[in-house]
Each structure stands twice: as C-alpha cells, then as structure tokens.
Amino acid sequence: MTTRRAASEEKWELRLYTAGQTPKSLAAIKNLKKVCEEHLAGRYEIEIVDLLKNPRLAKDDQIVAIPTLVRKLPDPVRKIIGDLSDTERALVGLQLKQLS
C-alpha cells in the first residue's frame, strides 16, 4: 500500500505518438485525456508528437505502431499501443491497475 500511496503523489509524463490527424489518433487523444482526468487529475503532462512532422523521432524512440503512448515518468518506461479504446487494458498498461 505504501508504493500505491507514493505512486499517487508522483508526477506523470506521458507522450503520445501520432501520425497526422487520423481517426485513430484523434480517438487516442480523446481516450487518453479521459483516463488521465479520471485517475491522474492534476499531476500529469501529455506531449503529443506528430511523426509526420518529425519522423526522425520514430527511430530515436523506437516507435513502430501508431498510436503509441509512452509513459516516460514514473519509471520504468512503458509503451502502450492502440487507440486506448480498451480502457481496462490501458489502465493495466499504465500500471494504474493490476490485471485482475
């Protein structure tokens, strides 16, 4: 329970990689915001990277699938792919919830 409490105080840095304004990207942005508001209100930062504008970052950050959400903080780095429509899996991926 201590880790859980510590986690609740942590600052979250999230980065979402998209490629243009595709329906999947828009859905991912919407879903991500919803999840963050529900679980991480007030202590999260979202950076959206459009790889169409900066494709070099795809190599640097090892992005293959789009959209990809990267949890940069807290450690360890986690990658979540997809439009986050499966909220349950998104929470598990972000380690906001244990897999039941």
Q: Specify the pairing of strand 12-18 against strand 44-50.
A: parallel
Per CB under 8 A, the list member of 64, 75, 98, 100 interacting with another protein is 64
Cα–Cα dist 47/67, whole Å: 13
For the window 18-37, what string marks contact with another protein as x by the rule CB under 8 A? -x----x--x---x------
Cα–Cα dist 66/80, whole Å: 10
- The least CB distance from residue 4 to another protein, in Å, is 20
Q: Tokens 């950050």 belong to which residue?
A: 61
- φ/ψ of residue 71, rounded to 5: -90, 105
Residue 77 touches another protein, criterion: CB under 8 A: yes
Q: Can you give the binding site for another protein, defined by CB under 8 A?
A: 17, 19, 24, 27, 31, 51-52, 55-56, 58-59, 62-68, 77-87, 89-90, 92-93
